[in-house]
Structure 1
Amino acid sequence: MTFLTTAAGAMELPAAPASGQFRPKFHYTAGRNWLNDPNGLVYLNGTYHLFYQHNPFGTDWGNMSWGHATSSDLRTWEEQPVAIPCDAQEAIFSGSAVFDAHNTTGFGTADAPPLVAIYTSAYSDASPLAGRQAQSLAYSLDEGRTWTKYQGNPVLDRASADFRDPKVFWYDGGAGSYWVMVAVEAVQRQVVLYKSADLKSWEYLSTFGPANATGGVWECPDLFELPVDGDPEDTRWVLVVNINPGGIAGGSAGQYFVGGFDGVSFRSGSTVTEGLQEDSTRMREYGWLDWGRDYYAAVSFSNVPDGRRIMIGWMNNWDYAASTPTGGWRSAMSLPRDVSLTRVQGGVKLRQEPVDAFRTAAPDGFRLGPQPLPPGFLELPATAAAARIDVEFEPGAARSVGLAVRAGDAGRTVISYDVATGTLALDRRQSGLVDFHPAFPSIESVAVPLQDGRLRLSIHVDRCSVEVFAQDGLATITDLVFPADASTAVAIFAEGEGARLTALAVVGR
């Protein structure tokens, strides 16, 4: 395997791509035009509904409307017509959707309850509310195929220019039973909570923040309860807050807090710093959903059976989202992730495991059994343009171990583990097309302690992305890459003597 570089060390980049070159095989993209935040994630009658921020008219951000896709298995998606389009009065910003099972809104009937979308109206100059962001409703009586805006919109208006991204859920606890809205005052870095009996009239509950990462605006919050290690008698509440810029790897990112919610206030048990003056030296102590540069606006599905909590994020970064070289479509969603809570070194931490796109694939992929791993690169007799790679190393006395994926003459992406620092890194500086924006060439890293001397990785590679799940999802790195079509090689490596490969499997389409 040859990694071609110029004399100065810069990559010799492939020619400008055709519009379909980087379209993923197993990540959702709109057929055409711009896509960003996932919205209105809801499950109903065997179907997962993914709504999202969408520009129906172009590949740049604008004309924000709710696009729509559906899936029966979270693996394959079918694009639907635009669900809630913008108009002369308002853009349709981010929000959520709920199944109003008891018809609290009166939009449906007891026998045919509605789906209800709660979204941010971003009012245009043509509106009497020009410049404001307020929360509005739309409802569907045909399981999400068509939508009607509520005539009483907006239902919650704080006369604010930056009040947005409502996530709504049904609370049933010691304080009563009612709808809870979790939204943000973005510039103030605050999460604001309200309650309602009918989704139409709202009563203020409390405010959380600023706390931990505050280097950018807060957006797209979420709040949900999870058992710790599956114990229903031991639960915590997780508050997710996405931030841009100010993420751990630069630009966009998602952070989370673990604590309690009593129906009125969220109290964090994982706050490291409070207020707007964040301590930059403590950034790596915060709870980050992902340590890469391309996992943002992550929120969870509502109404999923069996208590599953499934999240999905926008696989991009506002630093360079408008510049990615993808032709007539722009941006993709991450893989859906099953999230749970587990105890780690005395604390409680989020675990994220991908919904495996290859679960039903025939078991005829490439496998490699236990063996010493000598110093240097070992190219595998397997290719992976779109694949899952499961690997376990025993680094031993070696200085580092890892893999190169989407590798070839025109570049490679390197995933490496530094034994001395206990750090896992993803290096995409030579991953293919990288010069379309100065912020794109980068190295992302996260501390990953070995477990019984071993490092387990599940790496999901697609035509424009690499998602790394370490130690069964205790740490994740998600990055876009834009490699040449021919760069499909996979190699494993060690630096120094003493490493072992415990197991490796490559499963692709």
Structure 2
Amino acid sequence: MQPTAQNQINSSSFRDPTTAWLGPDNKWRVVIGSKVDQLGLAILYKSKDFVNWYQSKTPLHSANTGMWECPDFYPVPIHGQNGVDSSLNGPYVKHVLKVSLDNTRHDCYTIGSYDNVKDIYKPDEGSVEGDSGLRYDYGKYYASKTFFDDFKNRRILTGWINESSSVADDIKKGWSGVHAIPRKIWLARSRKQLVQWPVTEIEKLRTNHISLANKLLKGGSVIEFSGVTAAQADVEVSFEIKDFEKAEVLEPSWTNPQLLCTRMGASVKGSLGPFGLLVLASEGLKERTAVFFRIFKGHNKYVVLMCSDQSRSSLNQDNDMTTYGAFLDVDIRHHKLSLRSLIDHSIVESFGGGGKVCITSRVYPTLAINKAARLYAFNYGSQSIKISKLNAWSMKTAKIN
């Protein structure tokens, strides 16, 4: 839509239309990302013919979180893992409003209800707006978009992995940024968050399978896995914990998981953790990206922290080596703790708890490249952890048509 004096559109804060959906009045609707001062806006437009559009009197939703880029608005069934068409509404779906926060470069979402007569979206009680709420991915992941795959009845999420290298290095390598592996996305059983998992098509690239079961990881131990190309691999592992009594106490002030992961990185020994995977690691571990868990004793429950520690991912100090983290909602007294990492040379996409937490890291090792890259499981906590099951595969290179 062309900015004019009549429509008073600010071209610098007006972009990225959603997929259109059809309302009960047979009018099409789209949402545009915008802002007024620091009020993020999902401006709603309607059309009878998909050519001529007019602005609704009120936005679909707004919140004081700064400019909203790349808004996405879609329904998810309250039962099962299937996706549905964007125009569907009713008692058997919830709605998701996702926005890309221009201020922080994070993709955040809320879950709520959509009144398709008043054209108002309302987040559920307890659904927090902005960076303090839910995110698709707690690492480098931005400007995402979903679509409904009606052939396989699933909703697919795609997103952009930002760079961690310097501008000078970007120019040298001749490219910057890349799309993440597409993910299937659905509503968790709790109805309080979404779950994501790499699309099954990626499994066609698997080869050179190795496996391990019922292996005890004693405190301070590191195990190397050979037989897979560690620079291009798919790893799934589940951990089992028997004794929770010696878990460290989670202090009430420890509410920021990224800050907690930064303070308590993979090199900081604890009780139940850190334990997990060392990926894109060099011989002698001068370089490694650590994807791991820590378990704390919280108020009337155990709390799982998932981290992706990039602080030793590269000897090139010009890279961004931020550590990422999130709290994982899983009852570890009754469920094993699972982790899946997709490793592709400079990218590590990790999925904790079956996809309840996703963290994407962008790393550029100088030693752990190609055949020199190694893969390890580790436990730097004082208490033993059991690997219930581990499966890993080398990944073939995809053929892009």
TM-score range, shorter chain: 0.7 to 0.9
1:207 aligns with 2:59: yes
Say whether residues 1:237 and 2:83 are aligned partners. no
| Correspondence for 2:142 among 291, 296, 307 | 296
1:443 pairs, out of 320, 323, 327, with 323
Q: What is the DSSP-based 3-state SS (H/G/I as helix, E as strand, rest coil) of the residue aligned with 2:16?
A: strand
Partners of 2:206 and 2:152 in 1: CA distance? 28
Amino acid in structure 1 at the alignment position of 2:180: S
Give me the whole-angstrom Cα distance separating, in 2, the residues matched to 1:324 and 1:255.
29
Matching residue of 1:96: none
Identify the residue that residue 65 of structure 1 maps to in structure 2.
none
Distance in 2, matches of 1:466 and 1:386, equals 10
Shift of 1:208: 4.3
- 1:390-431: CA deviation from partner (whole Å, max 9, x where unpaired): 000013345212110010145110011111252010001111
- 1:180-235 CA distance string (max 9 Å, x none): 111111454111111112222112233145437x1x42200010111012298621
Instruction: Give the Cα–Cα distance (whole angstroms) in 2 for the partners of residues 368 and 393 of structure 1.
Output: 12
Give the match for residue 360 of structure 2.
478
Backbone CA RMSD of aligned residues: 2.8
Q: Does 1:312 align with 2:170?
A: no
What is the aligned partner in structure 2 of residue 179 from structure 1?
28
What is the rounded CA distance, in whole Å, between the counterparts of 1:321 and 1:245 in structure 2? 20
How far off is 1:506 after superposition?
Answer: 0.9
Does residue 406 of the first structure (1) align with residue 280 of the second (2)? yes
Structure 1 residues 380, 362: CA separation in 2 closer, same or farther (over 3 Å shift)? closer
* Cα offset, 1:157, TM superposition: 6.8
SS of the aligned residue for 1:359 comes to: helix
Any gaps of 5 or more consecutive residues in structure 1?
1-119, 124-128, 135-155, 247-251
Shift of 1:308: 1.6
- Distance in 2 of aligned mates of 1:358 and 1:168: 25
Match of 1:81 in 2: none
Is the Cα contact below 8 Å between 1:324 and 1:330 reproduced in 2? no
- Note closer, same or farther for the CA distance 1:159–1:411 as it changes in structure 2 (3 Å cut): closer
Partner residue in 2 for 1:7: none
Q: Distance in 2 between matches of 1:436 and 1:444?
A: 18
CA gap of 1:411–1:309, structure 2 versus 1, over 3 A, is same
What is the CA-CA distance between 1:328 and the residue it aligns to?
Answer: 1.1
**Alpha-carbon distance change, 405 to 257 in structure 1, aligned in 2, over 3 angstroms:** same
- Higher strand share goes to which structure? 1
Give 1:168 deviation, angstroms. Answer: 2.9
**How far off its partner does 1:272 sit?**
5.1
Q: How many residues align?
A: 337
The amino acid across from 2:137 in the alignment is D
Residues 273, 308 of structure 1: alpha-carbon distance in 2 compared, 3 angstrom cutoff: closer
Matched, 1:217 2:75: no
Structure 2 runs not aligned, ≥5 long: 85-90, 244-270, 297-302, 397-401
Q: Is the 8 A contact 2:110 2:127 kept in 1?
A: no
Distance 1:197 1:360, change over 3 A: same
For 2:309, the equivalent position in structure 1 comes to: 427
What is the aligned partner in structure 2 of residue 260 from structure 1? Answer: 113
Q: Is the 8 A contact 1:396 1:453 kept in 2?
A: no
* Maintained 8 Å contact 1:358/1:507: no
Residue pair 1:170, 1:177 contacting (<8 A) in 2 also: no
**1:257, 1:271 within 8 Å by CA — same for their partners in 2?**
no
Matching residue of 1:337: 183
Deviations 1:138-195 (A, max 9, x none): xxxxxxxxxxxxxxxxxx87355311111132324xx322221111114541111111
What is the distance in 2 between the residues matched to 1:217 and 1:432? 33
1:492 corresponds to 2:377: yes
1:327 counterpart letter in structure 2: K
Does residue 506 of structure 1 match 2:382? no
2:173 matched residue in structure 1: 327
Taking structure 1 as reference, are residues 178 and 324 closer, same or farther at Cα in structure 2, changes over 3 Å only? farther
* Alignment CA distance shift 1:302-1:196 (3 Å): farther
Please state how far the C-alpha of 1:348 moved relative to its aligned partner.
Answer: 2.4
Aligned to 1:360, the other structure's residue is in SS state helix
Q: 351, 357, 366: which is aligned to 2:195?
A: 351
- Contact map agreement 1:228 1:348 (CA 8 A) in 2: no
State the TM-score, normalizing by the size of structure 2: 0.76
Write out the 4+ residue segments of structure 1 that deviate beyond 4 Å after TM superposition. Answer: 270-274, 319-324
TM-score normalised to the size of structure 1? 0.61
**What's the secondary structure of 1:290's corresponding residue?**
coil
Change over 3 Å in CA distance of 1:224–1:453 after alignment to 2: closer
Q: Work out the CA distance in 2 between the residues paired with 1:259 and 1:506.
A: 38
Q: Within 2, Cα distance between the matches of 1:302 and 1:324?
A: 37
When residues 442 and 300 of structure 1 are mapped into structure 2, their CA distance, relative to the original with a 3 A threshold, is same
**Alpha-carbon distance in structure 1 between the residues aligned to 2:10 and 2:208:** 59
Q: Which residue, out of 215, 221, 245, partners 1:371?
A: 215
| Partner residue, 2:339 | 457
Could you tell me which residue of structure 1 aligns to residue 234 of structure 2?
A: 388
* Whole-Å separation in 1 of the counterparts to 2:135 and 2:206: 35
CA contact (8 A) 1:468 1:476 kept: yes
**Paired residues of 1:425 and 1:444 also in contact (CA < 8 A):** yes
- Residue 198 of structure 1 aligns to a residue whose secondary structure is coil
Query: Equivalents in 2 of 1:244, 1:196: separation in Å?
Result: 28
Separation in 2, partners of 1:433, 1:245: 29
Q: Assess if the C-alpha contact under 8 Å between 1:433 and 1:481 holds in 2.
A: no
Counterparts in 2 of 1:308 and 1:266: CA distance versus 1, 3 Å = same
Q: Specify whether residues 368 and 217 from structure 1 end up closer, same or farther in structure 2 by C-alpha distance, changes over 3 A only.
A: same
SS at match of 1:436: coil
For 2:68, the aligned partner's letter is W
Q: Output the CA distance in 2 between the equivalents of 1:321 and 1:305.
A: 41
In structure 2, relative to structure 1, the CA distance for the partners of 1:321 and 1:245 (3 Å cut) is farther
